[in-house]
Structure 1
Amino acid sequence: MEVTVRGVTRILLAVVLVAGAVAVPMPARAAPPDGWREAELPFLWPRRTLEFVEAAGPGDVWVAGAQGKVAIPQPTGGYFWTLGNPVVRRLKDGRWHEYPLDGWPGFSVLTGLSQHGGDVFVTGAPDLPYVARFDGARFRPVSLPAGVRRVEVRTGPGGTWAVAGKWHDRALLRLVGESFQKVELPAGHLLHDVVAVGPSDVWAVGRRDKGDETVPAAVHWNGKTWTSVPVPELWLSDSLYQVTVTTSGELWATDAGRSLTDAVHNLLRWTGSTWTKVTPPNGGRGTLTSDGTGRLVIAGEAYSDPSGPGTAAVFRRTGSGWETIQFPSSPETRFWDVDGAPGTSALWTVAHRDLTPVVLTNTP
């Protein structure tokens, strides 16, 4: 059970701060690899996390997570941890900016951050779906169809779409004007992610029914109709969970979700006529993205010894192989998200070192 920090009394907060069990250790600082630096963080309350990053430019970066998570002692022992308060910060003109999240529900947690051009969206869940759009000064809620839950927004070069629901209760949404509307899909499809390459070029991936089994699926919308496109059989998976378009227009899909714990076992590339398998980097996890030059980028772990622990790494596609940027001097660091700055090869990442979030970049 978790409760939000809103409404927690000063007395309760004092109890938590006094309790030695929730003291935050000071992690050792480790130097990043050559060409990388650790960016200064914005002010955040103790017990904070950073889980999402979106780079609008080399010096224009959004991060999101939570802060102020509180451990509440229980009479029977142990603690209940609160969700904390949402964190959305923007690094621009050399300093961090904070913007209000209008209408934020009391019992919720940030689940996503999506940015393309001047459009920035944040989402929250679980029980009260929250989607808000940045208007230049604050985030304002966007209208959603009745009954949808767990909305995840994907804004891109062809507009803003979203997937909603969980398990078999799934829906695809499209932003029309100031509100999201449900989109009808081919029967028997259960979709997990969507990307708009262009106004009449939209892809969604997931799985579909095939007799008594389910198989991975991809559907394409040409502005008028949806078409199911064959997908190769996947190793150890019956579904695609993520699709993305790079800044150079390449389309990629994977069976990994956007969570740090999801390993990239299968990686597909759209050739213009078919989906083909590509060998993924060993240790790739979570979000597919690209740098500003159009190369696919995946964060994860690199393994010098196959039987030993991995160290934090960023993998960048180079022709038919992968460039590995390893962080051997900081073995405690684990990446949560990575994104590329448009027009450059610069990358921005959010990571955790022990209990402390860090922002790492290869920009000067």
Structure 2
Amino acid sequence: MKRAIAAAATAAAAVLTSLPAPALATAPELRTVSLPFLWPTARLTDVTADGAGGVWVGGVQGKYCLRWGDLCPAYYDGNPVVRRRVGSSWKEYPLNGWTGQGEIAQVASGAGETWIDGGPSASGSASTYVARFDGSAFQKVAVPAKYVTMLATGPAGTFASAWDPDSAHGLFKRTGDTWTAVNVPGLDYVADLQALTASDAWAVGFKDGLQQVPAAAHFDGTSWKNVPLPAITENDWFRKVVPVAANDVWGITAKRLAHWNGTAWTYVAAPAGYPDFGDLTVDVSGTPWVAPEAAEPPANPPYRYSGGEWEPVTIPSGIAVYHLAAVPGGIWGVGRQGEDTPVALNGS
């Protein structure tokens, strides 16, 4: 989807180690960027680099709920939003094959490909609409199962995690005009899949069903191989991965930053009191940035892990940032101000 400027890794045996939580340091800064007109209520649910110095954003506009006590008898899921930042302006493209209401949940871009997914159930992380950008519009393609929960594209191909109670398969790769089931050993669910080349890719997620034990696997161009992770005692599945080089791969679980040095995975504790991690990107210098999962106020800022220290990111007051993307010029983020106002930010 977006994770970093570059990506890669190698498969090897992991050593069970962990690092202490580091101290805090000086803050980097993100500043707001004007958005195109969006109907209220609007939200941005994803941001990803477009490979040409700009970004894609996805979300929804025009949602409403007319409340009656705790009920919502009149409700509208809104209309999908996809915009691309080109220079200093935003550009919109047709979403061919879209019908009904709902949001764009994910935008995935890499290796010259851009894909989106969404639909009426997207706010629950289950999408029924998948489309590929052909340079002038998004063209709908058939989903590999009933619901898509993860979408990724890059040099190793285009992949979708799908949930279907009638199927034993959870991961699919786009092969020509169809989807092919992929078996990733040691993972019951693939939450993210990112690659540097066609022969260097990482998949992360969880195993053991309800226990949700973090799990990772590496693809060497021929097959997927499970790579052990440091042991933990609580449910804390692997959410994102960003391969930067063969000996430099970053990831996040809900509670931890993870790093692969070519031989072993290690964990870095989150800043004290920080909520669950929700997103991860890595800037052009190789520095990881994390954003919190969407939660009730007060909002927590993104953090950068630099020189063995956590650095809180300065953002405007009253704004929450939940999604991040690295571009050659710095970092982009999207979130909201209050409950109903979407925001986009960039900086370094």
Give yes or no for contact 1:161–1:175 (8 Å, CA) kept in 2. Answer: yes
Matched residue, 1:353: 337
Pairwise CA distance, 1:178: 3.6
1:362 aligns with 2:347: yes
Matched residue, 1:243: 241
Q: What SS is found at the alignment partner of 2:263?
A: coil
Alpha-carbon displacement from aligned partner over 1:298-336 (angstroms, at most 9, x marks no partner): 1249xxxxxxx7554221221222222223x50x21112
Question: In structure 1, how many angstroms separate the alpha carbons of the residues matched to 2:281 and 2:268?
Answer: 16
Question: In structure 1, how many angstroms separate the alpha carbons of the residues matched to 2:130 and 2:242?
Answer: 20
Pairwise CA distance, 1:272: 0.8
Alpha-carbon displacement from aligned partner over 1:77-124 (angstroms, at most 9, x marks no partner): 754321100000112132111101111142543221112253211111
Equivalent AA in structure 2 for residue 176 of structure 1: T
Q: Higher Cα Rg: structure 1 or 2?
A: 1
Give yes or no for contact 1:255–1:266 (8 Å, CA) kept in 2. Answer: yes
Equivalent AA in structure 1 for residue 322 of structure 2: W
Q: 1:190 to 1:62 in 2, by over 3 A?
A: closer
Give yes or no for contact 2:78–2:101 (8 Å, CA) kept in 1. Answer: no
Pairwise CA distance, 1:180: 2.7
Matched residue, 1:295: 287
Alpha-carbon displacement from aligned partner over 1:32-75 (angstroms, at most 9, x marks no partner): x9964321110111211112111336852211110011335779
> Structure 2: any 5+ residue segments left out of the alignment?
1-26
Q: 1:299 to 1:246 in 2, by over 3 A?
A: farther
- Aligned counterpart for 1:69 among listed residues 51, 63, 86: 63
Alpha-carbon displacement from aligned partner over 1:248-282 (angstroms, at most 9, x marks no partner): 973222223xxxxxxxx122211112211123334
Give yes or no for contact 1:197–1:249 (8 Å, CA) kept in 2. Answer: no
User: Could you tell which deviates more after superposition, 166-175 or 37-46?
Assistant: 166-175
Give yes or no for contact 2:67–2:73 (8 Å, CA) kept in 1. Answer: yes
Which residues in structure 2 correspond to 1:161-176 (within 5 Å)? Answer: 161-165=159-163, 171-176=170-175
User: Could you tell which deviates more after superposition, 218-227 or 169-178?
Assistant: 169-178
Q: 1:213 to 1:322 in 2, by over 3 A?
A: closer
Q: 1:320 to 1:311 in 2, by over 3 A?
A: same
Matched residue, 2:148: 150
- Aligned counterpart for 1:123 among listed residues 103, 117, 120: 117
Give yes or no for contact 2:169–2:181 (8 Å, CA) kept in 1. Answer: no
Matched residue, 1:225: 223
Pairwise CA distance, 1:240: 2.0
Matched residue, 1:337: 323
Which residues in structure 2 correspond to 1:2-13 (within 5 Å)? Answer: none
Give yes or no for contact 1:247–1:293 (8 Å, CA) kept in 2. Answer: no
Matched residue, 2:271: 281
Give yes or no for contact 2:113–2:133 (8 Å, CA) kept in 1. Answer: yes
- Aligned counterpart for 1:39 among listed residues 23, 33, 36: 33
> Structure 1: any 5+ residue segments left out of the alignment?
1-32, 257-264, 302-308
TM-score between both structures, scaled by the size of structure 1: 0.74
Matched residue, 1:81: 75
Matched residue, 1:321: 309
Question: In structure 2, how many angstroms separate the alpha carbons of the residues matched to 1:293 and 1:248?
Answer: 16
Pairwise CA distance, 1:199: 0.8
Q: 1:118 to 1:323 in 2, by over 3 A?
A: same
Equivalent AA in structure 2 for residue 362 of structure 1: G
Pairwise CA distance, 1:209: 4.1
Q: 1:287 to 1:313 in 2, by over 3 A?
A: same
Q: What SS is found at the alignment partner of 2:95?
A: coil
Question: In structure 1, how many angstroms separate the alpha carbons of the residues matched to 2:262 and 2:96?
Answer: 42
Alpha-carbon displacement from aligned partner over 1:8-51 (angstroms, at most 9, x marks no partner): xxxxxxxxxxxxxxxxxxxxxxxxx9964321110111211112
Equivalent AA in structure 2 for residue 88 of structure 1: V
TM-score between both structures, scaled by the size of structure 2: 0.77
Structure with higher RCO (Cα < 8 A, 6+ apart): 2
Question: In structure 2, how many angstroms separate the alpha carbons of the residues matched to 1:216 and 1:36?
Answer: 31
Matched residue, 1:22: none
Question: In structure 1, how many angstroms separate the alpha carbons of the residues matched to 2:187 and 2:31?
Answer: 48
